Structure 1
Amino acid sequence: MTKSRFNINRFVIAVLSVWLSAPLLAQTQQVDHTQVFTAAVPSEAQVLQAAQASFAEYFQLLALPNDAVVAADIQQNTDFLQQSFNRRGFTTQQLANNGKPLLYAEYRSPVPDAKTLLFYMHLDGQPVLPEQWSQPSPWSAVVKKRNQQGQWQAVDSALLQHKPLDPELRVFARASADDKGPIMMLLAAFDTLKAAGQAPAFNVKVLLDSEEEKGSPTIKTIAKANAKLLQAEGLLILDGPQHASNKPTLVFGNRGATSLTLTVYGPKAPLHSGHYGNYVPNPAQRLARLLASMKDDDGRVTVPGYYDTVHLSATEREALATVPDDAAALLKRTGIARPDAVGANYQEALQYPSLNIRGMQAAAVGDKAANIIPHLAVAELDLRTTPEADSAYLTALLQRHIKAQGWYLTKGEPTDAERAKYDKIASLTPGAGGDAARTPLDSQLGNWVYAVLLQDSNSVVRVRMMGGSLPTEQLVSALQMPFVILPLVNADNNQHSFDENLRIGHYVDGIQTLLRLLRTPY
């Protein structure tokens, strides 16, 4: 499917489908609901009108900082979105969470004995460094388009109201794609239904997480405490990017993530490198050697047992190979000559647990650098887990590996007695995170979403397990319901980085996709 649905043929088909279905809508009690709701998807013109009407509210939402470390900001986002859902006819309530409430919203379908689906998204976003952004503020959305030289150039935001709407425009702001964009797509889908005098074919429940970017540390507890409120036949997660081919994408699992802090201890205090160099070991150099022992030159983790629990069948490998990744384009976009040799291809690599160094620190650099031997060196690690290799399993392997390299592991600052006894002292401290989750490719929920996506495309990318992490396992284990992940935003959205953006063509297509889902009984 190309990302341009603004054509006359589709418009005519959509209008005809609404016109032909009009007599049926008055008979929803006497006829097959599946036929009625499938035929009655609002027209493309109505979708475009709702999308353009939603941009002002979208920009207001993007103007609210949403780093989960600031409780007041999260509260403001939650209050704003609660009002947004209330205006669409949802009943809502805030779920207490240490000053950072989650938002629950519910819309009842008029269809007798309708099933219920729970939509999950998150209202918090990644931290920002404003100076890295190519605009005055990450919280003030800027509309941009590529110029003839391929560079992003700011344009008048009024272009979002032009008809026809240019699908290549993009909105640059923190959380524009991850994950406020999908939230607004769902709200605009309900606006479209209301304008067409229609309603969803099933009961809709919505859960907006407030700390997803911090690992959702409390969501399992909150979900268990509100299990009856959140009860549904399935969980639909609206997060993550579509496949780079821009085809509709359906994901059946995600890796988990857990953070670890590895600290290597040196002298009791920083020491003058002239007086103590060649005598006192440097913890930064020792940390570098320890980290180097964990991976080989091909990027494979050398910690014994790290990959041993993952076994891909021939059928699974074949399915992974059919995902239309462009290997050459991946190398060009990432700016590397060759990938790590963990899997036979990109998708296969994502099925294994990973070990990443997300940050290192020993002493100041640049103008603040001093000629010292630092007293400690720290590496922040993030491990991407799989259902077969969870955080406890991988952390235990790392502890064993570190000890095998001759290190003594302590808890916190070493005592004088420990310093006197052990040459190499380190600590490995677990942080926040969650484990992986995966659902069968042929699940009932997956087959339903797949069939809906095929209504707009003859090709849907099905991904066994994506590399990014979501609190899926926490929700699924608490609520005991099947799930699938439906990504709606462009693959090159720069999520978690500066200059995050959402392509307007994806925004409109996302509304259309959600409308088809909402109008198709489960």
Structure 2
Amino acid sequence: MKRISILLPIVLLVFPLLAQDANSQKINASHVNRHHALLAEYVQFCAIPNTWNDAEQLRQNASFIIEMMKKRGITNARTLEAEVPGAIPAVYGEILTPGATQTLIFYAHYDGQPVNPAKWAEGLSPFKPQLLTTSLDKGGQFIDFPTANTPINNDWRLYGRATADDKAGVFTILNAYDAIRQSGLAPKLNLKFFFEGEEEKGSTNLEAILAQHKDLLKADAWIIVDGPMHASGRKQITFGVRGDVNMNLTVLGAKRPLHSGNYGNWAPNPALKLVHLLASMKNNRGKVLIDGFYDDVVPLSKTERKALAAIPDPAPIMQKDLAFAAAENPKRSFLESITTIPTLNINGIESANVGRLASNIIPTMATVTLDLRLVKGNDVQRQIQKVVDHVKKQGYYVLDHEPTDEERMQYPNIAIIRNGVGYNAQRTSMDVPISQAVIKAVRSTSKEEIILMPSTGGSLPLFLFEKVLNTPPITIPVVNYDNNQHGENENLRVGCLWDGIETIAAVMMMGGF
């Protein structure tokens, strides 16, 4: 009897894991046999243009997603409109489980960045997905899409806009549920689906949609499926994102371009003035010199510091891949840099022409777009004001509009600063029950230890889910780190689709938390 009492706790501990493994095997078997059909459907999805500033394209994508949801038995599939002229709808659907008291909402976005086809590699077209044997920079060769009798190689790359960011998120979410359904199993939780169409332009109307449909979107957590995995390819959970805001800063010179010989050394040169102004903001070791720039940062918790320390530093892999000799601040690790420290980056500078189009003039203006990434504790408006105050301390008269001639004559240094739409950082505690449940579920699908990231370097307006709905978000990225998102030659490692389905299905099959 004593022997039974000792073994019983072990049996009770192991039995749920065995059941979970059996369920995972059923779920995986249900989608493995359909990989050819799934790949064909995904190619069709990615062939629909989805540029964020084309409303007609985005509504076509929304319609396609709704049809995919209906095919998979997802109920109440429809668009959620914002009462704002020109707003792009979100797409919603749900699976309500009888007796369930807890709910997860799964999020991805279906809009994409603009494309310049001329910059894509020869043979590639952004909205005509192409299959290659591996990535282009590793010598990938074009191949035909596989017939039903041709095995699919997980290392093949699918090239095309939004193949990784973020139609992969939409597709893995829908097919994770479909794999559960096809296997004859059922989730214990209520599942809701929310696909945004304005993420790439800053989620301009997301807050309005969330507020307008607040009751419908009640849940215990949002699972965000977006972004790249760790460079090692290990499965990953991310518990936060940085905030983001852009600032356009223009320095003015004379009202018209001037001959650089006749007026050089006399007329002010705004390009030179802008360079000096930017140099005053950040030193050559990557430290921002703007007063108070780091003052309000909330440090990582003990659990978060421990998780960060356990992650292999991907910098050596990525630095070799990207071919540069030294980081901006070599004393600071890559992971520390992107999770704990706000940034001030130059996205681009524009003044007069260069190269073959250059002419001997003093330009009339010089403009820079600054990208401020925020960490927890920073506030968008406070961070913007710090930059504005710094520009003023350098002797500039700051406006948000074109100056009058009288102002030009009165002030020797004039800067026009205009801000984009910004949002704050967000971080969900790793210690709360929902976080622990998601960690357990993802671990059950991985033979290697998974990556637990306190925050990612990228930005999403996840703070809105807490602000409007009082619901924590947790992010599970499913695509390869070298996917070229936002740039030319965007691509997806095909095996990421299947791994993503497995991972998200495990989260959908969680019990209570």
Residue 369 (structure 1) aligned to one of 358, 374, 377:
358
Q: Residues 281-308 of structure 1: CA distance to partner in whole angstroms, max 9, x if unpaired?
A: 1111111111111110111111121112
Q: Report what 1:222 is aligned to.
A: 209
Residue 78 (structure 2) aligned to one of 85, 93, 99:
93
Structure 1 residue 36: deviation in Å? 6.2
Q: Report what 2:444 is aligned to.
A: 455
Is the counterpart of residue 145 in structure 1 residue 133 in structure 2?
Answer: yes
Residue 56 (structure 1) aligned to one of 19, 36, 40:
40
Residue 208 (structure 1) aligned to one of 187, 192, 195:
195
Structure 1 residue 513: deviation in Å? 1.1
Is the counterpart of residue 387 in structure 1 residue 376 in structure 2?
Answer: yes
Q: Report what 2:270 is aligned to.
A: 283
Take 2:389 and 2:172, find their aligned partners in 1: how far apart are those partners? 47
Residue 496 (structure 1) aligned to one of 473, 482, 486:
486
Is the counterpart of residue 133 in structure 1 residue 116 in structure 2?
Answer: no
Take 2:315 and 2:157, find their aligned partners in 1: how far apart are those partners? 26
Q: Report what 1:40 is aligned to.
A: 23
Q: Residues 81-140 of structure 1: CA distance to partner in whole angstroms, max 9, x if unpaired?
A: 111112212222212244443333223244422421111110001111111112331101
Report if aligned partners of 1:47, 1:512 keep a CA contact under 8 Å in 2: no
What TM-score does the superposition give when structure 1 sets the normalisation length? 0.89
Report if aligned partners of 1:216, 1:433 keep a CA contact under 8 Å in 2: no
Is the counterpart of residue 471 in structure 1 residue 464 in structure 2?
Answer: no
- Rate the CA distance shift 1:100–1:172 in 2: closer, same or farther, 3 A: farther
Take 2:301 and 2:59, find their aligned partners in 1: how far apart are those partners? 49
Structure 1 residue 193: deviation in Å? 2.6
Local SS of the residue matching 1:152: coil
Structure 1 residue 395: deviation in Å? 0.8
| Letter in structure 1 aligned against 2:453 | V
Local SS of the residue matching 1:285: helix
Does 401-410 or 138-147 show the bigger shift? 138-147
| Letter in structure 2 aligned against 1:465 | S
Structure 2 counterparts to residues 78-477 of structure 1, below 5 A = 78-90=62-74, 91-97=76-82, 98-134=85-121, 135-146=123-134, 150-158=138-146, 161-162=148-149, 164-310=151-297, 312=299, 315=302, 316-341=304-329, 344-350=332-338, 351-457=340-446, 458-477=448-467
Take 2:375 and 2:135, find their aligned partners in 1: how far apart are those partners? 42
Take 1:164 and 1:446, find their aligned partners in 2: how far apart are those partners? 37
- Rate the CA distance shift 1:438–1:515 in 2: closer, same or farther, 3 A: same
Report if aligned partners of 2:465, 2:472 keep a CA contact under 8 Å in 1: no
Q: Report what 2:495 is aligned to.
A: 505
Q: Residues 63-92 of structure 1: CA distance to partner in whole angstroms, max 9, x if unpaired?
A: 111111111111111111111112212222
Structure 1 residue 413: deviation in Å? 0.9
| Letter in structure 2 aligned against 1:491 | Y
Report if aligned partners of 1:217, 1:433 keep a CA contact under 8 Å in 2: no
Take 2:299 and 2:319, find their aligned partners in 1: how far apart are those partners? 25
Local SS of the residue matching 1:294: coil
Take 1:302 and 1:521, find their aligned partners in 2: how far apart are those partners? 49
Take 1:443 and 1:172, find their aligned partners in 2: how far apart are those partners? 39
Take 1:247 and 1:36, find their aligned partners in 2: how far apart are those partners? 24
Report if aligned partners of 1:353, 1:386 keep a CA contact under 8 Å in 2: yes
Local SS of the residue matching 1:158: coil
Mind listing any 5+ residue stretches in structure 1 that lack a counterpart? 1-31
Is the counterpart of residue 482 in structure 1 residue 482 in structure 2?
Answer: no
Report if aligned partners of 1:94, 1:101 keep a CA contact under 8 Å in 2: no
Superposed CA RMSD in Å reads: 2.2
Q: Report what 2:6 is aligned to.
A: none
Report if aligned partners of 2:282, 2:289 keep a CA contact under 8 Å in 1: yes
Local SS of the residue matching 2:244: strand
Local SS of the residue matching 1:295: coil
Local SS of the residue matching 2:108: strand
Take 1:401 and 1:148, find their aligned partners in 2: how far apart are those partners? 44
Structure 1 residue 148: deviation in Å? 12
Report if aligned partners of 2:154, 2:495 keep a CA contact under 8 Å in 1: yes
Q: Report what 2:505 is aligned to.
A: 515
Q: Residues 26-54 of structure 1: CA distance to partner in whole angstroms, max 9, x if unpaired?
A: xxxxxx99986764332533221233321
| Letter in structure 2 aligned against 1:152 | G
Take 1:442 and 1:343, find their aligned partners in 2: how far apart are those partners? 30
| Letter in structure 2 aligned against 1:323 | I
Does 43-52 or 460-469 show the bigger shift? 43-52
Q: Report what 2:59 is aligned to.
A: 75
Report if aligned partners of 1:387, 1:435 keep a CA contact under 8 Å in 2: yes
Report if aligned partners of 1:239, 1:488 keep a CA contact under 8 Å in 2: yes
What TM-score does the superposition give when structure 2 sets the normalisation length? 0.90
Report if aligned partners of 1:342, 1:349 keep a CA contact under 8 Å in 2: no
- Rate the CA distance shift 1:342–1:439 in 2: closer, same or farther, 3 A: farther
Take 2:257 and 2:421, find their aligned partners in 1: how far apart are those partners? 30
Local SS of the residue matching 2:68: helix
Take 1:108 and 1:179, find their aligned partners in 2: how far apart are those partners? 22
- Rate the CA distance shift 1:401–1:148 in 2: closer, same or farther, 3 A: closer
Structure 1 residue 341: deviation in Å? 2.2
Does 452-461 or 338-347 show the bigger shift? 338-347
Q: Report what 1:7 is aligned to.
A: none
Structure 1 residue 227: deviation in Å? 0.6
Structure 1 residue 407: deviation in Å? 1.0
- Rate the CA distance shift 1:218–1:100 in 2: closer, same or farther, 3 A: closer
Local SS of the residue matching 1:259: strand
Equivalent residues, number:
490
Take 1:73 and 1:283, find their aligned partners in 2: how far apart are those partners? 40
| Letter in structure 1 aligned against 2:511 | P
Local SS of the residue matching 2:193: strand
Q: Residues 190-213 of structure 1: CA distance to partner in whole angstroms, max 9, x if unpaired?
A: 332332223332211111111111
Report if aligned partners of 2:124, 2:159 keep a CA contact under 8 Å in 1: no
